Amino acid sequence: MIYLDNSATTKPYREVLESFNKVSTEYFGNPSSLHGLGGDAEKLLSQSREQIAKLLKVQANEIFFTSGGTESNNIAIKGTALMYKGRGRHIITTKIEHPSVNESMEQLKSLGFRITYIPVDKNGVVRITDIEEAISEETILVSVMHVNNETGSIQPIKEIGQLLKKYSKILFHVDYVQGIGKVPLHFQECHIDLCTISGHKFHGLKGTGALFIRQGVRISPLFSGGGQEWKQRSGTENVAGIVAMAKALRLTLQRQEQCVADMIKIRDFIRMELEKIDGIKVHTPVFPCAPHIINFSILGFKAEVFVHALEEKGIYVSTTSACSSKTKKASSTLLAMGVSKDEALSSIRVSLSYENTMEEAVQFIDAVNEAGNRLRKVMN
């Protein structure tokens, strides 16, 4: 098997599963319980919080555990809207966000908020001036993703943060789900108030994630209940999953240091070879882009036909993002970049992890060539 769908999810590291298993069997107490078993679980919870905070260069009391990226995005956006609706009802975001951001915005729109969707250029990148022009007295939040999950393009988060520093009443939220472990992001330097991460995108387990909330920032909780996570996110914490996520983050950041240069070589090889094939158009920009994502169209074929043709050869890729791939709609991210609807409908995403090798990349390119030739013959 050659797994090239790491932006959808990653395979948990063996050590991560071992940690999950150990904590689930030996430290299964509820961290809110008063007895020793609860105390042990609570200790593991705070150790994991400290470890994750240290790896992200933030304070432990700025990390709030959630069930993943979708939940963190919802809490950040709706929690800000609920908290500051008296101050203003305008939110700025982009045209290329993940559905967990988009749909949250649309829900807020139906509740009377005004949402500005900033366009992107042909590289899938927003212009700072567009954001600046959109800001009004009513603006309470700007939410911009770091690495786009479909194309890998990187947004100018530092510059946006610098711009927003001038507006003390506007909170800055960043969806860092695809960037973490691949492209460094300094939360403080970028003046980020709220930042989303998801454990299963860096070899942790599904159902684990966190929201960074900068010290001093207050947002309304969306869940009512036992008041866990300093009342910000009620619900018994997934201690085993959180310990596993802390380990996954540590291992991934180590791998990043050792292997990111190799990952870039593999990505560049795939890009170069794809560009040689007739009828293939690469959409991922040469710059600024993350090291792990390549998005391209195989003109004349529906993307899902190609995904299945590659699957027959044991190669796993994606059409667009995992959550949108079953809707068979053209990718709104590619459309926003000016890609035609037909091209968008035939787009494929390859996403690497540090486990992928150059040999696999060579096999992938051979398989694309073979599948393309075979499908063309069938069609003619």
Nearer to ligand PLP, 48 or 371 (CB): 48
Nearer to ligand PLP, 89 or 238 (CB): 238
Name the 3-class secondary structure at 360: helix
Let me know: does 125 contact 157? Beta carbons within 8 Å.
no
37 binds ligand PLP (CB under 6 A): no
The binding track of 192-231 with respect to ligand PLP, each residue x by CB under 6 A or -, is ------x-x--------x----------------------
Of 26-34, 66-74, 114-122, 220-228, the segment contacting ligand PLP by CB under 6 A is 66-74
* Residue 331: DSSP 8-state: P
Nearer to ligand PLP, 27 or 65 (CB): 65
Peptide bond into 288 cis (omega under 30): yes
| Least distance (Å) between residue 222 CB and ligand PLP | 15
Name the 3-class secondary structure at 154: strand
* Residue 330: DSSP 8-state: P
Binding-site member from 70, 102, 295, 351 for ligand PLP (CB under 6 A): 70
Encoding tokens for residue 29?
């107490």
Q: For residues 367 and 316, give the distance between their C-alpha atoms in angstroms, rounded to a whole number.
A: 11
Nearer to ligand PLP, 139 or 198 (CB): 198
Binding-site member from 49, 78, 90, 98 for ligand PLP (CB under 6 A): 98
The closest of 204, 165, 164 to 55, measured between CA atoms, is 204
| Least distance (Å) between residue 363 CB and ligand PLP | 25
Beta strands in the chain (DSSP E): 2-3, 63-66, 90-94, 114-118, 139-145, 171-175, 194-198, 209-213, 280-282, 293-298, 315-316, 347-351
| Least distance (Å) between residue 211 CB and ligand PLP | 11
Let me know: does 194 contact 172? Beta carbons within 8 Å.
yes
Q: Is the dihedral of CA 221, 226, 230, 236 positive or negative?
A: negative
Of 10-18, 37-45, 65-73, 287-295, the segment contacting ligand PLP by CB under 6 A is 65-73
- The interface with ligand PLP within residues 225-284 (CB under 6 A) comprises none
Q: For residues 294 and 35, give the distance between their C-alpha atoms in angstroms, rounded to a whole number.
A: 51
Q: Which residue is nearest to ligand PLP (CB)?
A: 69
Place of tokens 């070899």: 203
Encoding tokens for residue 322?
């995992």
Nearer to ligand PLP, 334 or 371 (CB): 334
- The interface with ligand PLP within residues 71-90 (CB under 6 A) comprises 73
| Least distance (Å) between residue 29 CB and ligand PLP | 26
- The interface with ligand PLP within residues 135-164 (CB under 6 A) comprises 145, 149
| Least distance (Å) between residue 376 CB and ligand PLP | 32
Q: Which residues have C-beta within 8 Å of that of residue 173, sequence separation ≥ 6?
A: 73, 76, 77, 80, 141, 142, 143, 144, 192, 193, 194, 195, 196
* Residue 61: DSSP 8-state: G
| Least distance (Å) between residue 187 CB and ligand PLP | 17
Q: Count the residues of the shown chain that bind ligand PLP, applying the rule CB under 6 A.
A: 16
- The interface with ligand PLP within residues 292-351 (CB under 6 A) comprises 321-322
Binding-site member from 31, 69, 152, 241 for ligand PLP (CB under 6 A): 69
So which residues are the catalytic ones?
323
The closest of 312, 280, 273, 283 to 376, measured between CA atoms, is 280
Of 16-24, 39-47, 64-72, 247-255, the segment contacting ligand PLP by CB under 6 A is 64-72
| Least distance (Å) between residue 184 CB and ligand PLP | 17
Rg (CA), the chain: 21
* Residue numbers at the binding site for ligand PLP (CB under 6 A): 68-70, 73, 98, 100, 145, 149, 175, 177-178, 198, 200, 209, 321-322
